[in-house]
Chain A
Amino acid sequence: MLHTLMPILAQVDAAPLATPGNWTIPLLVLIPVIGALLTLVLTPKDNPKQACILALIISLAPLAIVIMMAAQFSRIAVAEGDVAVSGWHYQFAYNWIPAFGIKFLMGVDAISLWLLVLTAVLTPISILASYNYIKERQPEFYAWMLILHAAMLGVFCARDILVFYLFFEFTLIPMFFIIGIWGGAERRKAAGKFFLFTFAGSVFTLVSLLYISYLNFKANGVMSFAMDDLYRFGQTPGAISPHVQTLLFFGLLAGFAVKVPLFPVHTWLPLAHTEAPTAGSVILAGVLLKLGTYGLLRFLVPVLPYATQTYAPVIATICVIGIIYGALVSWVQGDMKKLIAYSSVSHLGFCVLGLFAMTPEGVMGSVLYMINHGLSTGALFLIVGMIYERYHTRDMDQLSGLVRRTPALAFFAVFFVLSSIALPGLNGFVSEFLVLLGTFVSGRTVDGVRMGTLGPAYAIPAATGVILGAVYLLYWTGRVVFGPLKEPVHETADDDHGHHHHVPDLSGREWAVLLPVAVLVLIMGVYPIKVMNSLRAPIDGLVKSVNQPPMLDTGMKTADASVTLKE
């Protein structure tokens, strides 16, 4: 086995690391970190609200960089056509700990690029949304937000699993403090639970990652944590025995499944969402959950293709249960934030289902789902935050008929609900449709290769989620946005004695928060083709590598892999 693999790996190792390469990505990650320090230092003590403005300006810098990258990237993608299968661009490499082969490898392909865009868009928006919401210790809050920003950007750029893991785990710390300090009444419990859940899961992931690179080391004699090396190793037939693949599969899954969150390990999510401040919820739903699906897509599937094929039905079953379960539980929540939190459980079930369908449509739908869910659900959390700022309650029993009082807010609420229930013309439809069709056609044999292992048996029950999605979101809309006007009675009548507060419609700042998201939702609904075209190459590559036919018995020790895994 060693001999067969040696030539390939020799080449990899020979890749020179003398020049670190492109500095765009390190810059991207460093700007928010420096910005965080600046926010702490520069905010005037007498006017702490300025921290928000400062942080906003700083967070626009990564956005500008990412937009520039996206513009350049589409040119590269057009120039290279479909060749850029594992097309890493803006590569940066630095021999971090040479003794253990740990390199600081960074780079982006189309998948990570669009998730970077999502992150870079949502962060300034959620910073701006916090302007009035955060009333104490503002500089620290915004500093943590920027640190979180840096960590999230780092995750999507990482090409070395240790670098990935570093950033992946590092997102926990700022989020822990954002929930724990600026959260609601039960913030401590929520923060602790959030931390422990994700941490406990990801430790298994770490162990599995280390074990994979250990196996790689044992096989090839070279210590490497670079993703490309491990892909190549994992995709070599027989490199990892099915027995070990199974263990590694569930080990890796543990961390990512908690993060996604998949069905039985989702219980940290509603609590974290309810207690987190608006910005925390937006980032949590918009980006942090995607770290889980991104991890599945980046590691689990390409490194363990055979285990993925074997256990896809198991994961798909969990996803289908999650889709239906999340939707039903969401329906009976009285707290608006919980309702949307459980809807994420349902939606991300779709996202993971599409990934494990392992058809081009399914994976494409899944990647788009990550972006679209970030936009729609993030926006719904923004809306709920705005309602909360006005009425200081999220109880659906106390609120009704908001369209009378705040028509513009109601318009956006209905708009994002429609996007979330996958109305064609808005973003949600494209991804949900592709995921369902992709799952439906999964399991067909194309040119002698079986594409995926799912099929109608998974797609049809998942499709009921389409009905249920409409049930709970329209229930929410009907209760809160429409219907007769009902507002909570304020015990604390401020200046206006005994009168209702004047409840204002959207302010200019709130328009600035919601409008960009709405525009993106619309663009992703009617003109997603640009994004889809750039995604095709990496997705095709991924699908091909997962669905490669099991090679013939090469007489290796672990040849039983090809026997067990031949569907």
Chain B
Amino acid sequence: MGLTVAQILLLAAGMPLLSFVLLIFFGRRMGYMAGAVGTLLIVVTLGLSVTASIEWVAKAEFNQRHYVEALAYPWITLPGVGAENPATPRVLANSVGSALVMGVLVDSLTVTMFVMVSLVASVVHLFSMAYMKEDPRYSRYFAYLGLFCFSMLGLVLANSLIQMFVFWELVGICSYLLIGFWFEKRGPALASKKAVLVNRVGDVSFLIGIGILLLHLGPASLTFFDGQGNAVLSSAVQTAVHQEMGGAEGLQGFARLLSPEGANYLTHNFGATFWGYNWLTWAGLCIFGGAMAKSAQFPLHVWLPDAMEGPTPVSALIHAATMVAAGVYLVARVFPILTMDARLVIAIIGCITLLAGALIALVQTDIKRVLAYSTISQLGYMMLFLGSGGYVAGLFHLFTHAFFKSCLFLAAGSVIHALSGEQDMRRMGGLWKKMPITAGTFLLAVLAISGTPYFSGYYSKELGLAGVYEYAMALHQQSLDRHLAMMLFWVPVATSYLTAFYMWRCWWLTFGGKARDEELGEHAHETSLMTLSLIFLGGLSVVAGYEFFRVPSVLGKSLPAVMALGGGEALTLSVMPSEDVQAMVSQWAIWAFVAGPVAAIGIYFAGFGLANRVRRLPGVNLVYLWLVEGMYFDALYDGILVNGTKAFSVTLGFVDRYVVDGVVNMAGYAMRGVSRLSGLMDARVVDGAVNGLAEAARLGGRGVLAPQGGRIRIYVLGLFTVLAAVAVGTVVYVLAAR
């Protein structure tokens, strides 16, 4: 065809936009065709993405790692601040100069994300055709899906932080529209608002991160790569650090900045510090703040469980595979500029998130909420992997997770559809007889998420955990307390047992055992379109990690090699654990796939009986309550943050009405008093213009405003008198002062 890879991808991203435009304008007339149109277009996207990825991987073999195609679309100009900073590489100077040029970035990460997003999106479209069939706003639904896919793909293609921010916000708004799709109900309306607001907190943090980089590097450096495929952002950071630390010192410094050994050294030697962190660390942390909201990291995870109010296929697409992936993707894109301090924070946040998510998931009885908390937990894993330097592992886990988690969500959707909207696992059970394919594919995904050997999740998790082990060891060899450092490793290992347990519990309670509500499940059945989608995703959750697809090695090529200044060796930015370490680590984590099902089925074999007895034990009951309420985060935020702000706002409202306005009114009354006096005295002195004005006022008012008009005249007279006095006084005072 003669198209470059970038053009193919651009075309691929355009398809869902086309779908959005078509469906929003003509969707209602299309009827059920709307779904088919949307699905067809996204499948075209999938085809194009696969084509592009095959072409790109072939190219990448020849060491072309990044390719940027500038779009001839100047969107906004950033008037040339920062271009004068010598730290700014001038490679892009001609094109960036003053305008923010939109670019299409292609590298292994982009094409992988494209394949992942379009694959899951295609399946979700297909599934939705059956799932949303009865909805009155069927075509609107597909229109929103199209807009969402476009925004997500646009985000992946973005070649600069600002461009990414644009799509970042668009993704957020699409999520608002989709979560709140059933806006007539209270729940979805509130949940969608909450999602936007929590995400806005992240957006502001992201924006501040951009601001810090802009302040120190200039606008041209906010691009990731230039037309030749050289890293712009990371080399600008490198140069800036080099300059601030001076000469060879800087060279050493930059290496140390990114390696575990030198973290402490740098905080004391480089850059202005604020609370002990230099600006680069702050920039990284602020950008990570954006990722925290999108990727539902503790403590900004609260919107994700509520987002389950949206249609289930939406949860599969947005809250499993794509939107939440955006945060991880962002961290991966800025990975080369994250300092050790920033990475440590990311790792710790990830570690807390994965544990908290898993703990809460243990006790949930709503099938979608189990999956939601499980997603939070898995996203925590990804962040931990990235934070500990496992660039490939974090993204690999993102890739495999997308398939098995969307499979889980869609299977749950199939169940919910069959049970006409019931989501409570306490009323399920024994469904495997009625829905064998759903049960089977769900099981495949459960096996994948619990790290069973030869299933996709196993490969990514083991790789990541090995990286974390090396990182924790490195930290511990530094000054950090041994036990604290090793927590970073042991917590995820222990959590992988919890994961296996709650996922098996979820499967067993839904499909295994006996039916707890015979009536509900009586007419349960599967539809062919849904099972087709499930089989497809179930298969992928098994094979996505296989060596055949070479995902890790392809992903590895996307990390820009940061060349040492003055031509030294390329610096290692990420950790790639050795085979030995992987083997050793897997001894500890691997048994989850056995222990999980044994414990889960053992406890829940005959329903909730045993579990209920356990949770009523003294002490356990408190923990249970704490977990079942999601650790009271919602209560904390709603009760203190939201209500506190609201109460404060109400107070401000009163202050505004009675104090601020009151003071002004008082001044007005006082003025009126004065003006009455002076008005009486000086009425004749003031010139005719004022009288004319008042006269005009009276004429125009034609009596309607007679009393007011009269008063206005007095006001005006008075005002002029007083103000003239003030003015004269001022002039006299100033002249005297000179």
Contact = CB atoms under 8 A, between A and B. Distances in A.
B661 A267 contact: yes
A464 B204 contact: yes
A515 interface: no
Interface stretch (B185-193, B308-316, B333-341, B410-418): B185-193
A264 B656 CA distance: 9
B30 interface: no
Interface residues of A, number: 81
B708 A192 contact: yes
A444 B84 CA distance: 12
The binding surface of chain A is classed by DSSP as helix
Contacts of B529: none
A37 to B, nearest CB: 14
Contacts of B720: 203
Contact of B169 (A191, A424, A436, A447): A424
B76 A243 contact: no
Nearest to A197: B664
A434 B81 CA distance: 12
B734 A247 contact: yes
B701 A181 contact: yes
Contacts of A517: none
A199 B734 contact: no
A528 B166 CA distance: 15
A467 B206 CA distance: 12
B711 to A, nearest CB: 7
B708 to A, nearest CB: 5
B203 interface: yes
A466 interface: yes
B183 interface: yes
B180 A482 contact: yes
A204 B730 CA distance: 11
Nearest to A558: B738
Most chain B CB neighbours (cut-off 10 Å) among A325, A474, A475:
A474
Interface in B194-217: 196-197, 200-201, 203-204, 207-208, 210-212, 214-215
A467 B204 contact: yes
B719 A440 contact: no
Contact of A180 (B215, B648, B668, B705): B705
A423 interface: yes
A265 B693 CA distance: 25
Contacts of B494: none
Contacts of A520: none
A180 B701 CA distance: 8
A180 B696 CA distance: 14
B353 to A, nearest CB: 22
Interface in B163-182: 165-167, 169-170, 173, 176, 180
A532 B77 contact: yes
A451 interface: yes
Nearest to A483: B189
B734 A181 contact: no
Given A361-B81, A529-B76, A329 B656 contact: yes
Given A456-B215, A529-B99, A211 B731 contact: yes
Given A192-B712, A424-B166, A478 B664 contact: no
Contacts of B192: 478
A459 B204 contact: no
A264 B193 CA distance: 31
B165 to A, nearest CB: 7
Contacts of A264: 660
A436 B197 contact: no
A196 interface: yes
A207 B729 CA distance: 12
A267 B660 contact: yes
A181 B705 contact: yes
Contacts of A325: 652, 656
Interface residues of B, number: 77
Contacts of A167: none
A501 interface: no
Contacts of B80: 360
Nearest to A425: B170
Contacts of B656: 267, 325, 329
Interface in A433-449: 433-434, 436-437, 440-441, 444, 446-447
Nearest to A439: B211
B76 A528 contact: yes
A466 B200 contact: yes
Contact of B719 (A199, A361, A418): A199
A153 B43 CA distance: 53
Interface stretch (A43-51, A122-130, A533-541): A533-541
A203 B719 contact: yes
A21 interface: no
B653 interface: yes
Contacts of B77: 364, 529, 532-533, 536
Contacts of B190: 478
Contacts of A533: 77
Contacts of A529: 74-77, 99
A173 interface: yes
Contacts of B184: 401, 404, 482-485
Given A360-B79, A459-B211, A540-B79, A484 B186 contact: yes
Interface in A187-232: 188, 191-192, 195-197, 199-200, 203-204, 207, 211
A484 B186 CA distance: 7
Contacts of A360: 79-81
Interface string B715-738: 110011001001100110010011
Contacts of A267: 656, 660-661, 664
Contacts of A440: 208, 211-212, 214-215
A305 B601 CA distance: 76
Interface string B671-704: 1000000000000000000000100110011001
A464 B165 CA distance: 17
A436 B211 contact: yes
A168 B712 CA distance: 19
Contacts of A148: none
B26 to A, nearest CB: 15
A364 B661 contact: no
A470 B200 contact: yes
A278 interface: no
B420 interface: no
A117 B719 CA distance: 35
Given A180-B701, A425-B170, A484-B184, A467 B197 contact: yes
A195 B649 contact: no
B650 interface: yes
Contacts of B208: 440, 456, 459-460, 463
A332 B196 contact: no
Contact of B207 (A463, A474, A484): A463
B78 A361 contact: yes
B482 interface: no
A408 interface: no
A188 B706 CA distance: 11
Contacts of A540: 79
Contacts of B78: 361, 434, 437
A474 B642 CA distance: 14
Interface in A128-177: 144, 173, 176-177
A5 interface: no
B649 A332 contact: yes
A67 interface: no
Given A359-B81, A474-B196, A177 B653 contact: no
A181 B210 CA distance: 50
B646 interface: yes
A257 to B, nearest CB: 13
A430 B705 contact: no
A430 B166 CA distance: 10
Given A332-B646, A440-B215, 4 more contacts: A243-B734, A332-B652, A467-B197, A532-B77
When A and B form their complex, which 4 residue pairs have the shortest distance between CB atoms, in order from nearest? Answer: A360-B79, A440-B211, A424-B166, A482-B183
5 contacts: A181-B701, A211-B731, A429-B169, A456-B215, A466-B200
